[in-house]
Chain A
Amino acid sequence: MQVETQIGEYYVTYMAFPAFPKPNEQGRVNLYASRIDNGATYHGEVTFKVRDDSWFSDEQEVIGTQAIDDGVYRQGFIFKEAGDFIITAEFESGGEPYIIDFPLRIGEPTPLGPIGIAVLIILIVLVGVNVTQRKRMQRVKASQHHRDNRDASDDEL
């Protein structure tokens, strides 16, 4: 998987190997950073951190700090569990901090979520329509019954 992004004065390319890593599988992140104005490669250190990309988790863990190697910052990783993670790359240039977040999916995504939501919405609407229509029919029947009774009593008089 490859993600290209730009931040401040840098154009950053991020690659994850393998593209879609599995739990307990050795993986690697390659990061290239070059200046937008002249294309010069960033020389320094990049710190890689990771956090769980879920709503209730903000715990962050440092994976490592890497120096440039042949124009690339390489960071290895192994995840024990499947899930959605955010890899954060941090470096400093010209006294300014640069922090870039990249998504990383470990294992297969959970497909039941979207299907479940779609089915739920459709179900709620269909049941809602059905209930509303039944109530309408009952109201119509009741008013019809009321009218019939009134007509009958008028006839008796």
Chain B
Amino acid sequence: MYESIIEFINRLIYVPSEGMVHPGLSVNWVLAIIVVMVVMVMRSMLTGNSISTATAGNLNLSRLPMVGGFFSALVVKPWILLSLRVIAALIFLLVIYAGLFGTPVPERNIATVLTWTVWWSAVVISVFFVGSAWCAICPWDAIASWLVRRKLWRRGDAASSLNIRVPKYLRTIWPALFLFTVLTWLELGAGVTTSPYATALLALLMVVLATVSLALYERKAFCRYFCPIGRTLGAYAAMAPIALRPIDNQVCVDCKTLECYHGTNDVEPCPTHLLMGTITQNTYCTSCGACTQSCPTQNVGWRLRGIGEEITYASRPHTDEAWFILGLVALTLFHGFTMMPYWEDWMRQLAYQIGDSGQILLSFTIGMTVAMFVPISLYLLVVRLVHYFGQSPHHFQRVFNALAFSLLPLAFTYHIAHNLSHLVRESQGFWTVLFNPLGVDTVPLSVGEIHMRHMNPLINNEIVFALQATLALFGFWLALRIARQRLTSVVASGSSKAVTALSFTPILILITGFSLVNLWLLMQPMIMRM
């Protein structure tokens, strides 16, 4: 029995005929994950309507022994954040310089290595520990702010921007979803990741967009509505264990001056129009620290909380955010598919069938559209079934918005697991690149060097597998928990156990299905990025 299961799983693993690939999750890990998933499903079915409630009383990090002082300084002293922003901006300028003037060999140029192998992989992982902290030191925004406001850190002159209110049709995160889709197309289709020059162009473009947006619109419209990275980190930050929150809620309730929202003479107002007293979700918080510095009672601080607590209980469903989550799910899955050895074969066959030639971008675009269409269609079908079985008194849209949260942990954990593979297996060359960022007098990696990197990952393969397995299970567990909780808000009140169980079944099947696809992708050997 055991042998036949192992043999079946082994048959699902693609064996590439050529090329250097990263190993996928081993069969034993896959089997262990499936067993635990089965237990979780059974437990979830048996739990019925008994839903736990949010745990109150989060921990204020500035009161922690040893590290409390550091967290306290981090939120109050502007020079710490400013120093980090300056460092990030200098590195970013180096990336642009190296991309434009350095070697075109991607694995020898800091522009491509730092951007795609290190930053792009690590920034998503960072959300798991520090939420949207990256946004606080984001060089796109830092450079744009310095150019437009003409102040290093104090509040800029209001006349430095036209302060136009963002048009209503743009006051959603649809623009960010569109840009994220374009970014994925550029990354995986047009091959920006293997071109230092194109990477530098993209970096310049983002600075131009951030600067123009800041010069035209009020506050930081780019961060709030347009930035594909900021919105992705914002969505994931709903699961982060830390968040900027009031230390004492009553102080915020009694506050009449609202410095966090309006700013002070020295400190900028909240760039994304958040009011600390009413904040319930991390989605739009850029961790910039303006609220912590402007609060006259120093009532804002970093707080430790349960992972996934916000997205389970506090996040409010909005249509654009629900679509963004769906986009993330579809694009992360697509990301995984494109790094499978058979993806190129599929694209080649498709291009042959439709007469596409050259870089076969049309075929890629069709493949990407289909890859995005399938999970979204499945989700729509599931929402329809939940709506029907649960005899929901609410509009379809509300069910759609509420249940989308349950898919976010799947996208997040798969994204981290996938990026972890890139980070530990492809970043060994980083130190070499750091000492020769422009790759002067270097040649492309030899087969021997590629082989050496491949054989010596930063972390032992078994540890990577263990982390990936833990992430896959955590994502599955959290998705089930959120689905259970969110379901209570959309099914008819006073529904019987049978109705609740019946309405839970479609979303349970979808979550399990997506998790198995993620697991299957993690099992496959993955093509090295560079």
CB-defined contacts of B215 to chain A, threshold 8 Å: 125-126, 129
State whether the Cβ of B74 lies closer than 8 Å to any Cβ in chain A. no
B148 at interface, CB cutoff 8 A: yes
* B104 CB contacts on chain A under 8 angstroms: 1, 19-20, 105, 109
Q: How large is the interface on A (under 10, 10 to 19, 20 to 34, 35 or more residues)?
A: 20 to 34
CA–CA, A69 and B360, complex, Å: 28
Q: Does B91 contact A (CB under 8 A)?
A: no
CB neighbours (8 Å) of B360 from chain A are 5-6
Determine whether B204 belongs to the interface, using a CB cutoff of 8 Å to chain A. Answer: yes
Question: Would B160 and A129 count as touching, CB distance under 8 A?
Answer: yes
> In the bound complex, how far is the Cα of B11 from the Cα of A115, in angstroms?
51
Considering only residues 1-30 of chain A, those with a C-beta below 8 Å from chain B are 1, 5-9, 11, 19-20
B101 at the interface (CB under 8 A from A): yes
Q: Which of B170-178, B206-214, B272-280 lies on the face that meets chain A? A: B206-214
The residue of chain B having its C-beta at the shortest distance from the C-beta of A111 within the complex is B100
Interface SS of B by simple majority:
helix
Contact between B211 and A125 (Cβ–Cβ < 8 Å)? yes
Please provide the chain B residues from 443 to 464 with a CB less than 8 Å away from any CB of chain A in the complex. 443-444
Q: Does A133 contact B (CB under 8 A)?
A: yes
A97 interfacial by beta-carbon distance below 8 Å? no
Taking a contact as CB atoms under 8 Å apart, the answer to whether B197 and A121 are in contact is no
A152 close to chain B: CB less than 8 A:
no
Contact B348 A11 (CB under 8 A): yes
Task: Please list 13 pairs of residues, one from A and one from B, whose beta carbons are closer than 8 Å in the complex, sorted by A's number.
Answer: A1-B104, A5-B359, A8-B357, A9-B352, A20-B104, A109-B100, A109-B197, A111-B100, A114-B200, A114-B204, A122-B212, A125-B216, A130-B160
Please, which residues of chain A bring their CB within 8 A of the CB of B298? none
Which of A8, A108, A126, A137 has most B Cβ within 10 Å? A126
Given the known A-B contacts A5-B359, A111-B100, are A137 and B105 also in contact in the complex, defined by CB atoms under 8 Å? no
With contact pairs A114-B100, A115-B100, A118-B208 given, residues A129 and B216 touching in the complex (Cβ less than 8 Å) = yes
Which residues in chain A, 68-92, are within 8 Å of chain B measured between CB atoms? none
B57 at the interface (CB under 8 A from A): no
List A residues 114-157 near B (Cβ within 8 Å). 114-115, 118, 121-122, 125-126, 129-130, 132-133, 136-137
Query: Which B residues lie within 8 Å of A115 (CB)?
Result: 96, 100, 204
Known contacts A36-B348, A121-B212, A133-B159; 7 additional CB pairs below 8 A are A6-B352, A20-B103, A36-B349, A115-B100, A118-B207, A130-B160, A137-B159
Determine if A129 and B161 form an interchain contact, defined as CB atoms under 8 angstroms apart: yes
Among residues of A, the one whose C-beta sits closest to the C-beta of B99 is: A111
In the complex, residue of chain A having the shortest beta-carbon distance to the beta carbon of B205: A118
List residues of chain A with CB within 8 A of the CB of B216: 125, 129
Q: Which residues of A contact B208 (CB under 8 A)?
A: 118, 121-122
- Which of A8, A100, A125 has the largest number of chain B CB atoms within 10 A? A125
Contacts of B148 in A (CB 8 A): 126, 129
Distance in Å from the Cβ of B202 to the closest Cβ of chain A?
10
Interfacial chain B residues near A100, Cβ < 8 Å? 357-358
B408-446 interface bits toward A, Cβ cutoff 8 Å, 1 = contact, 0 = none: 000000000000000000000000000000000001100
Contacts of A36 in B (CB 8 A): 348-349, 352
How many Å lie between the Cα of A113 and that of B104 in the bound state? Answer: 17
CB pair B159 A19 closer than 8 Å: no
Give the docked Cα–Cα distance between A104 and B444 (Å): 17
A132-B204 Cα distance, complex, nearest whole Å: 25
Complex interface: chain A residues within 8 A of B325 (CB)? none
A121 closest partner in B (C-beta):
B208
Interface residues of B in 194-248 (CB under 8 A from A): 197, 200-201, 204-205, 207-208, 211-212, 215-216
The 8 A-B residue pairs with the shortest CB-CB distance, nearest first, are A111-B100, A7-B357, A133-B159, A118-B204, A129-B215, A125-B215, A36-B352, A122-B211
Report the bound CA distance from A90 to B364 in whole Å. Answer: 25
**Closest chain A residue to B150, Cβ basis:** A126
User: What distance in Å separates the Cβ of A27 from its nearest Cβ neighbour in chain B?
Assistant: 15
Q: Quick check: is B147 within 8 A (CB to CB) of the other chain? A: yes
Return chain A residues, CB-CB under 8 Å to B147. Answer: 122, 126
Q: Is B291 interfacial (CB 8 A cutoff)?
A: no
Residues of A within 8 A of B352 (CB): 6, 9, 36-37
Cα distance A110–B216 in the bound complex, in angstroms = 31
Contact of B253 with A by CB under 8 A: no
Q: Which residue of A lies closest to B357 (CB)?
A: A7
Closest to A126 in B: B215
A115-B204, A121-B212, A126-B215 as given contacts; A5 in contact with B357, CB under 8 Å: yes
Per-position binary interface string of chain B over residues 321-359, scored 1 when its CB falls under 8 Å from any chain A CB and 0 otherwise: 000000000000000000000000000110110011111
A125 touches B197 (CB 8 A): no
CB distance from A128 to the nearest CB of B (A): 8
Q: Does B162 contact A (CB under 8 A)?
A: yes
